[in-house]
Amino acid sequence: MSNISHRIKVFAPATVANVACGFDIMGLALENIGDELTVTKTDDGLLSIGEIVGADNIPTAPEKNVCTVAIKAMMDELDDASGFRVDINKNVAPGSGLGSSASSAAGAVFGANELLGRPFTRQQLVKYAMEGERVASEKAHADNVAPSLMGGFAVIRSYTPLDVFSIPYPEELAVAVIYPSVEVKTADAKKILKTEVALSAAITQWGNVAGLTAGLITKDFGLIERSLQDVIVEPIRSILIPCYDAMKEAALSAGALGCNISGSGPSVFALCKGEERAAQVAKAMGEVLSQYNVGYGHYVSKVNKKGCEVLSA
């Protein structure tokens, strides 16, 4: 049996990737929902998964679990023989479109990095957490792990080389999330996208990306509202989500700045000015699903400023 050197409990927030026009390049972190991980440093040099609470079918083999894969990627760059065990309390449902695997991967490297005395910045941890994403969805995407680690709005300017940065945003921004009880597999949601898009649509999209980026930084809610559009992905993916158009209409009628698919769905998010408005918007969206007897979970939260955080050490 290995000696326990140290143990830490961390919170890793769920995230909304894409944020309408920012497909594959933008994500934001949520407040009230995220995985809790207990990361234990050992001196046996091994990586292992301990208890998993809150989800079935999470792989426990170290080479398949996102947590241990992410920690291994990090440890490969350090001259340190420590091992780690990760116990996972999953609050972000796999397949929800809220960055479930990213939350676990981000929390794992964040916790291990804390136990090692922070050899890496949060920004530097992104590339290791991405390796967790690679085993979860075949692509090492960063638009969930980056906001989960860094908090706020994260932008992935480039993957080769990796270039991730945070952008300022208005404090009042709040998010309403509806998670309909249906399954949309990320792989399926990727498959139905076209590999070619019309140049004219791409131009519209990057006009909105410029608008959203500028709107967030300069706190221009009107510009944020006008820019929260997606002409490339939403028209295709929304067909996988029950009552999508009606939910979106309800969100906008209830005063949301914009409404779109969270990640690859089925969760739907709405950005709002203020939590009170976000609560009204979540209610309006939920009522649409209730009308059609579709079950759902919902969350209302400000944008999470902090990203991953230590709960107890």
- If binding is defined by CB under 8 A, does position 211 make contact with a second copy? yes
**Residue 173 parent element (H or E):** strand 173-180
Select which of 114, 131, 133, 225 is catalytic: 133
Shortest CA distance to 146 belongs to which of 135, 157, 137?
157
With a CB cutoff of 8 Å and minimum separation 6, the contacts of 184 are 95, 97, 240, 241, 264, 265, 266
Shortest CA distance to 148 belongs to which of 183, 193, 115, 100?
100
Residue closer to a second copy, measured from CB, 227 or 260: 227
> How many residues belong to the site for a second copy (CB under 8 A)?
41
Cα–Cα distance between 279 and 177 in angstroms, integer? 10
Minimum CB distance to a second copy, residue 75 (Å): 29
167 is written with which tokens?
A: 């952008």
- Asked if 125 and 87 touch (Cβ cutoff 8 Å), the reply is no
Residue closer to a second copy, measured from CB, 80 or 220: 220
Which of the ranges 1-9, 38-46, 52-60, 214-222 carries the binding residues for a second copy, by CB under 8 A?
Answer: 214-222
Minimum CB distance to a second copy, residue 195 (Å): 6
Shortest CA distance to 23 belongs to which of 275, 204, 243?
204
Q: Catalytic: 138?
A: no
Q: Hey, is 223 helix, strand or coil?
A: helix
Residue closer to a second copy, measured from CB, 206 or 292: 206
Question: Which DSSP letter does residue 238 get?
Answer: G
Minimum CB distance to a second copy, residue 192 (Å): 12
Q: Hey, is 237 helix, strand or coil?
A: helix
Site for a second copy in 63-82 (CB under 8 A): none
Which of the ranges 91-99, 100-108, 219-227, 278-286 carries the binding residues for a second copy, by CB under 8 A?
Answer: 219-227
Residue closer to a second copy, measured from CB, 3 or 195: 195
- Asked if 28 and 294 touch (Cβ cutoff 8 Å), the reply is no
Residue closer to a second copy, measured from CB, 203 or 313: 203
Select which of 186, 213, 225, 234 is catalytic: 186
Which of the ranges 19-27, 41-49, 104-112, 292-300 carries the binding residues for a second copy, by CB under 8 A?
Answer: 19-27
Query: CA dist 72 to 62, 81, 85, 203, 295, Å?
Result: 9, 11, 12, 40, 38
Site for a second copy in 150-209 (CB under 8 A): 155-158, 163, 165, 167-168, 193-200, 202-209
Q: Catalytic: 133?
A: yes
Q: List residues near a second copy by CB under 8 A.
A: 21-26, 155-158, 163, 165, 167-168, 193-200, 202-211, 213-214, 217-218, 220, 223, 226-227, 232
The set of catalytic residues is 133, 186
